[in-house]
Amino acid sequence: MKDWVPTVHILHARNDRQDYEAALGLHLRLRFLRSVSELQRRCTTDERPGLLIANIRRPGDGILRYLKGGTSAAPLPWIACSSVDDPDLVRECFRLGALEYLALPVQRAELRVKAERTLDRMVSAAGELELDPSKLMLRFGSQMSPPLTAKEFQIVSVLARAPDRAARRRHLLDLVWKGTSVGPKTLDVHLTNLRHKLTTLGLSVRAAGPGRVALGPMDGAVVGRTQ
């Protein structure tokens, strides 16, 4: 595990709480949530989950509706757990950004390994990309980007700090333009301009599945921690 350890929030643990505590409690900070509304409140405060583990009780579960609605302030890193044997449900969880999927009942060794692997991926994805808001510029390694516009810098900031450096297009529109109504083509124009400017750093902004955008290296190089 890395030095950085977020608080792991666990939704709808029900009778599995002891398994979560035994598998993760000695190594991670845990907080148990009783409802999606409690999760929603925490996502708007400083207690936003670093990682969420959500038990999906049925197709159409409230947590799926919440994630589908895109009401979280930024992409929420999460692991899906369910006792429902439904491949469509598994696909839906991954489509909504799940980083791992666990079949219930909880297997403690599998839970611990997958949680640690997910957190390690989140840390390594953070990388050594330095953001300079005073100059609206990025530094990657020894290279400095050309000056960005305010919107371009906001887009990069969201992507740089998101798990796996990826975010849904809807989240980018909501976070960068907030209450202003703009269309998808406006975002596309800014992404195109960003691609040209980030080429000097060996970075690219590209599609990462349906409705998602990712920031990453052009040549497969490792991108380090955001500062």
Per-residue pLDDT tens for 33-83? 999 999 888 877 656 677 899 999 887 788 998 888 765 544 577 899 999
Give me the pLDDT at residue 148, please. 93
For residue 111, what pLDDT band results from cuts at 50, 70 and 90?
Answer: very high
Please, what is the average pLDDT of the chain?
81
Name the pTM for this structure: 0.56
User: Which of 153, 138, 168, 205 lies closest to 74 in space, CA to CA?
Assistant: 168
Q: Which two tokens stand for residue 178?
A: 């907030």
Specify the DSSP class assigned to residue 128: B
**At a CB cut-off of 8 Å and minimum separation 6, what does 184 contact?**
169, 173
**What pLDDT digit, counting tens, does each position of 112-144 carry?**
999 988 877 665 554 567 888 878 888 876 678
Specify the DSSP class assigned to residue 1: -
Give me the pLDDT at residue 219, please. 43
Q: What is the CA radius of gyration of the chain?
A: 18
Q: Is residue 227 over pLDDT 70?
A: no
Q: What domains appear along the chain, each with residue ranges and CATH number? A: 7-125 (3.40.50.2300), 127-217 (1.10.10.10)
Torsion angle (degrees, nearest 10) of CA 90, 91, 95, 101: 30
Number of alpha carbons in the 13 Å side-chain half-sphere of residue 222: 8
Give me the pLDDT at residue 23, please. 92
Look-up of token digits 């690219």:
204
Answer yes or no: are the C-beta atoms of 222 and 203 closer than 8 Å: no
Least trusted range by pLDDT, from 4-13, 69-78, 116-125, 199-208: 69-78
Answer yes or no: are the C-beta atoms of 125 and 165 closer than 8 Å: yes
Number of alpha carbons in the 13 Å side-chain half-sphere of residue 174: 12
Element (H, E) at 124: helix 108-126
CA distance 29 to 25: 6
Give me the pLDDT at residue 69, please. 77
Most confident of 22-26, 39-43, 107-111: 107-111
Torsions phi, psi for 196 (to 5 deg): -65, -40
**At a CB cut-off of 8 Å and minimum separation 6, what does 82 contact?**
55, 56, 57, 89, 90, 93, 101, 102, 103, 104
Neighbour count for residue 123 (Cβ, 10 Å):
17
Q: Is residue 218 over pLDDT 80?
A: no
Give me the pLDDT at residue 4, please. 43
CA distance 67 to 80: 12
For residue 19, what pLDDT band results from cuts at 50, 70 and 90?
Answer: very high
